Amino acid sequence: MECIVAPRGRGPDLKGLTMNLRVLAGLGVLVVLLGALAYTTFSGRNEGIRIGFVTTLSGGSAAIGADMRDAFELALDHMDRKMAGHPVTVLYEDDAQNPDVGLQKTERLVQRDGVQFVTGYIWSNVLLASYRAATDRGVFVVSANAGPSELAGKQCTPDFFSTSWQNDQTPMAMGEVLSRRGVKSLYVLAPNYAAGRNMVAGLKRTFRGQIVAEEYTQWPDQIDFAAELAKIRAAQPEAVWFFFPGNYGTQFFKQYAQAGLMGQIPLFSSFSIDHLNLPQIGELVAGSLLTQHWGPDLAYPVNRKFVDDFKQRFGRTPSFYAAQAYDSALLIRTALETTRGDVENHDALRNALARATFESVRGPFKLGGNHFPVQSFYLYDVVKSGNAYDMRQLEKVYTDHTDPYAVDCAMAR
Amino acid sequence: MGLLVEQVVNGLQFGVLLFLLSAGLTLVFGIMGLVNLAHGSLYMLGAYFAVWFAGMTNSFVLGLLLALAATAAVGVVTELVALRTLYRRNSLEQVLGTFGLVLLFDEAAKVVWGPAGLSLAPPEWLSGQVSVLGVPYPAYRLAVLAAGMLVAAGLYWLVSRTRAGMLLRAAASNRSMAEALGVNTRVLFSLVFALGAGLSALAGILAAPLLTVHVGMGEEVLLLAFVVVVIGGVGSIRGALFGAVGIGLLDTLGRAYLPGLLRGVFSTPVADAVGPALSSMLIYVTMAAVLLVRPEGLFPIQRRAEAGRVVSAP
């Protein structure tokens, strides 16, 4: 019987052995191929500027990562792919929106690929897990999106820089606007991770009305908000504010509308409407208010060139994620020009990064003592323009705003 | 009271979607012994096809039917080309092989439809709200609940009352014996796979108007589907139904009431920190508890020992 119905996967048999040999041969070929690939990739090592770019290129948030990568590529093309006369190599890595993967990719970029800068980073939890793998080994980190409070305050670190914002700031501007407009009570929702907690904290700093409830949803798994919507309906707040970035925001808006709450209870948000999801939800969110540090309409020459060339090349309007990635390339270039392309003198390069001033897509760029930008924040609304939806600037909420954690940063004192 | 009813309906609706997804998974897993990670890809493809066909025909229902057929066809081709070679392999090789398929489908979807998400609007006549015990509830979610229950009933009838279902159960409990009695398990397996693919696609299509259609949406729900299969008992449709509805209710009610309950016990900041973490663990804690008491799941399939195992036993 044993030989008629062979039990699976038990004991060595001849078929299994030839199988193993085939697998071994296959692996051998793979190793040779990879070796060849590595040789061609790394034969240029130690020449020029090497930048690692960690972002999300797979899964539901891949569109954000692609937008950032496209903007970074555009920036390099605008520089003829050189910084301070040296050729630039960029290695893009996918963090799969996962802190463990982000750390792994950062380690690989630093240890194997020998990059001098790592930039990108959409998610605060990914950045917090990853940055020390770079800064501990003398590699500069330039966050092009994530702005966790830790890195702005107590854990601020000399080799970390940001070209975005600290998480609290944009919702702070929103809280200010809501207070001024006389909103008395708010139901607040955000995902349960570093950025979600910061966003809510930021809103609460400036919103002077009553917070009816603070709801933290599961991150990154939760995509259905039926339970939360039922609670909102039962609580009957005067308005709702939420932070769900990217696709999560799209889903929340759609489900809010399906529940019949749109138009019943006014909805405000931060970082949940962007130029990536506007084509999908434009009609739903027309008239919505949001605060932002950048918009495609800001009339600075660098911004015009960025937005126009981006539109022409990729056929879509860049998002704020793209704008920040573009500025991260500009920051690195400005610092390298100050050191005349020298990447060996770490202290000189750090000083150059910290003191860099340049014309960015959001006007004159400067960093505060904790290496986060000091910048203005604007109020926008969503309007229909032609067949599509866009954002329109209404007013400036903050001028030269410094994040509230800078006072806790030893470097900034 | 109204809120509790609404949350229970929410939980049931979520559970029904989970059931559609896990019914196919448990059939393929239980009957063919295949750990199919690419099951979530069929869920994603169903949603993408629905957006595509609904756009072409300007009709949600037509789009749904065409997408079902298209995904089932993709499922059959995948089974013939790739999965058939994996049945006799061990689970590690199956996991690797089907994971490769996940990457392939994700990348293909990204090439065809782009990395940004797509939207599928529910049909006009389901886009409003209906009153459930005085609470306005989205009509579309109710329709999903009804459709899911209908499919569950249909599946129950198919498996327990028809000849095809009998063959299916026979192959599940003892494959070699069924083959010896003249059942063409190859054809049977292809049909089971097509059925599973169709169910998974249906889940994806029904979920599409609630969510966004995007690359990687299958992987987001696959883990939950596996939890349902394991809790319900591998291969058991009934187990999948009870497991899915149980998980749906547990997850929704946990999210709705756990933070509030904790606030009664701990201070607000502690409760706010612990609540979401605990409610996201709830499902897995439950799974561990179920497996502790019933290692084969709630409704294990009666398996007759296969000939080879009997002989090799001491």
- Convert the pLDDT of each residue in B211-251 to its tens digit: 989 998 999 899 999 999 999 998 888 999 999 999 999 99
Tokens of A187: 């139901």
Q: Examine the domain organization and report whether A181 and A285 are in the same domain.
A: yes
The answer to whether A71 touches A318, Cβ cutoff 8 Å, is yes
pLDDT at residue B303 greater than cutoff 70: no
Last residue of a domain, one of A250, A270, A292: A292
As for how many domains chain B has, the answer is: 1
Q: Would residue A409 count as lying in a domain?
A: no
Q: Would residue A404 count as lying in a domain?
A: no
Q: Would residue A68 count as lying in a domain?
A: yes
Q: Examine the domain organization and report whether A251 and A173 are in the same domain.
A: yes
- Convert the pLDDT of each residue in A227-265 to its tens digit: 999 999 999 999 999 999 999 999 999 999 999 999 899
Nearest residue, CB atoms, B138 vs list A63, A228, A258: A258
Helix (H, G, I), strand (E, B) or coil at A45: coil
Cis bond upstream, residue B276 (ω within 30): no
Give the pLDDT score at B301. 76
Q: Would residue A30 count as lying in a domain?
A: no
Is the backbone of residue B108 left (phi > 0), alpha (psi -120 to 50) or beta?
alpha
Query: B308–A6: do the CB atoms touch at under 8 Å?
Result: yes
Q: Examine the domain organization and report whether A75 and A135 are in the same domain.
A: yes
Least confident of A345-354, B214-223, B295-304: B295-304
To test the contact with chain B by mutation, choose from A125, A218, A284 the residue with the greatest count of B C-beta atoms within 10 A, namely: A218
Mean pLDDT of chain A: 91
Q: Would residue A207 count as lying in a domain?
A: yes
- The answer to whether B106 contacts chain A (CB < 8 Å) is yes
Q: Examine the domain organization and report whether A313 and A366 are in the same domain.
A: yes
Structural domain that includes position A251: 169-292
Q: What are phi and psi of B245, to 5 degrees?
A: -65, -40
Structural domain that includes position B126: 11-215
Give the pLDDT score at B311. 35
- The answer to whether B305 contacts chain A (CB < 8 Å) is no
Q: Would residue B239 count as lying in a domain?
A: no
**Percentage of chain A exceeding pLDDT 90:** 85
**Chain A partners within 8 Å of B118 (Cβ):** 280
Q: Would residue A39 count as lying in a domain?
A: no
Give the pLDDT score at B33. 84
Q: Examine the domain organization and report whether A264 and A313 are in the same domain.
A: no
- The answer to whether B217 contacts chain A (CB < 8 Å) is yes
Give the pLDDT score at B271. 79
Assign B262 a pLDDT band (cuts: 50, 70, 90). Answer: confident
SS percent in chain A: helix, strand, coil, step 5:
45, 20, 35
The alpha-carbon radius of gyration of chain A (Å, integer) is: 24
Q: Examine the domain organization and report whether A333 and A345 are in the same domain.
A: yes
Q: Examine the domain organization and report whether A219 and A78 are in the same domain.
A: no
Q: Examine the domain organization and report whether A80 and A191 are in the same domain.
A: no
What CATH number did the domain enclosing A115 receive? 3.40.50.2300
Full DSSP string of chain B: -HHHHHHHHHHHHHHHHHHHHHHHHHHHHHHH----TTHHHHHHHHHHHHHHHHHHHS-HHHHHHHHHHHHHHHHHHHHHHTGGGGTTS-HHHHHHHHHHHHHHHHHHHHHHH-SS-B--PPPGGGSSEEEETTEEEEHHHHHHHHHHHHHHHHHHHHHHHSHHHHHHHHHHH-HHHHHHTT--HHHHHHHHHHHHHHHHHHHHHHHTTTS-B-TTHHHHHHHHHHHHHHHH-TT-HHHHHHHHHHHHHHHHHHHHHHHHHHHHHS-HHHHHHHHHHHHHHHHHHHHHHHHHH-TT-SS----PPPHHHHHH--
pLDDT at residue A38 greater than cutoff 60: no
Q: Would residue B179 count as lying in a domain?
A: yes
Query: A280–B119: do the CB atoms touch at under 8 Å?
Result: yes
The answer to whether B192 touches B27, Cβ cutoff 8 Å, is yes
Nearest residue, CB atoms, A247 vs list B6, B212, B253: B212
Q: Examine the domain organization and report whether A70 and A141 are in the same domain.
A: yes
- Convert the pLDDT of each residue in A366-409 to its tens digit: 999 999 999 999 999 999 999 899 999 999 999 999 999 999 99
Q: Examine the domain organization and report whether A114 and A157 are in the same domain.
A: yes
Give the pLDDT score at A221. 85
Assign B132 a pLDDT band (cuts: 50, 70, 90). Answer: confident
Segment A165-178 mean pLDDT? 98
As for how many domains chain A has, the answer is: 2
pLDDT at residue B29 greater than cutoff 60: yes
The ipTM of this complex is 0.87
Supply angle C-alpha A238, A242, A246, rounded to 5: 150
- Convert the pLDDT of each residue in A278-308 to its tens digit: 999 999 999 999 999 999 999 999 999 999 9
Q: Would residue A333 count as lying in a domain?
A: yes
**Chain A partners within 8 Å of B127 (Cβ):** 258
Last residue of a domain, one of A292, A316, A334: A292
Assign A46 a pLDDT band (cuts: 50, 70, 90). Answer: low
pTM for the model stands at 0.87
Give the pLDDT score at B168. 85
Is the backbone of residue A177 left (phi > 0), alpha (psi -120 to 50) or beta?
alpha
Give the pLDDT score at A21. 57
Q: Examine the domain organization and report whether A174 and A161 are in the same domain.
A: no
Q: Examine the domain organization and report whether A325 and A348 are in the same domain.
A: yes
| The total number of residues written for chain A in this structure | 413
Q: What are phi and psi of B71, to 5 degrees?
A: -70, -40
Tokens of A89: 């190599």
